[in-house]
Structure 1
Amino acid sequence: MKELSLYLMSLLYITAGVNHFVMPKVYLRIMPPYVPFHKTMVFLSGIAEVLLGVGLLFTLTREWAAWGIILLLIVIFPANVEQLKNKKARGKLPLWVVILRLPLQLVLIWWAWLYT
């Protein structure tokens, strides 16, 4: 079961990372205004997610990748808050989904922590 969980987590981050390049407008919309170079940050976070997702797959890099995911989730948390605060950033998402996303970050951190 732990192996299946690991593969699911890896797939989640690789898919999310690729999505930064496929649908960058979604991520650009939720960038807090005080963060510089929005487009660059969206692409860098996408690259990070892909690399960390792949890193989970190898025993040698798994622990580093898990810690990297934890750090990434903390760093991107302000974008989730921005999405909650800014109706335009929310897009068509219902408010309850955006609210639920905030504590979900804690669950994702815990999930990554299992592999540290």
Structure 2
Amino acid sequence: MNSKIIKTIFRVLLAVFVIAAGVAHWVTPTPFVQMMPNYLPYHLELVQISGVFEILGGVGLLIPFASRYAAWGLILLFIAVFPANVNMAVNDLVIDGMPHNLVAYWVRLPFQAVLIAWAWWFTRVPQTAEVK
């Protein structure tokens, strides 16, 4: 399998992942609201907004002319939601619908870096073969 096909498969996987997460922010917002740090206002609205941007980012990854911009947007989104993940781990929150596992909460934190790196891969301009 060539690298272009592999990259396409991973692009679709990330798109499906973030679209599903975005939909979950609307269908079952309570767990996401419970993760929000207290210092942020409008928890439900912020969850819904982040869900919209996840859906838009996922769809954007699937549109060739928009995929680089969508990837940069997802990177910013992954950074923006990181405080909620930190809040969940640091405060050992009990979140509706999630197993209460402090180790899993802490493992989730470096996973944000994986998501950022994954999205960053799609910001790269494809290398073109040199004609000699």
Number of paired residues?
A: 116
What TM-score, normalized to structure 1? 0.95
2:128 corresponds to which residue?
Answer: none
1:64 corresponds to which residue?
Answer: 69
After superposition, give the CA deviation of every residue in 1:36-56 in whole Å (9 maximum; x if it has no partner). 111110100000000000000
1:99 corresponds to which residue?
Answer: 106
2:120 corresponds to which residue?
Answer: 113
After superposition, give the CA deviation of every residue in 1:59-109 in whole Å (9 maximum; x if it has no partner). 111011000000001111000011012233445331111111000110110
Q: Which has the larger radius of gyration?
A: 2
What TM-score, normalized to structure 2? 0.84
Would the aligned equivalents of 1:82 and 1:89 in 2 still touch at CA under 8 Å?
A: no
Taking the aligned partners of 1:19 and 1:108, their CA distance within structure 2 comes to 18
* Range with greater deviation from structure 2 (20-29 or 89-98): 89-98
Q: Cα–Cα, structure 1 residues 81 and 89, in superposed 2: closer, same or farther, change >3 Å? A: farther
**Percent of aligned positions with the same letter in both sequences?**
43
Taking the aligned partners of 1:103 and 1:90, their CA distance within structure 2 comes to 19
Give the residue type in structure 2 aligned to 1:36. P
* 2:66 counterpart SS class: helix
CA RMSD in angstroms, aligned pairs only: 1.1
Unaligned runs of 5+ residues in structure 1 are: none
Give the residue type in structure 2 aligned to 1:104. F
Q: Which one has the bigger helix percentage? A: 1
Q: Cα–Cα, structure 1 residues 99 and 90, in superposed 2: closer, same or farther, change >3 Å? A: farther
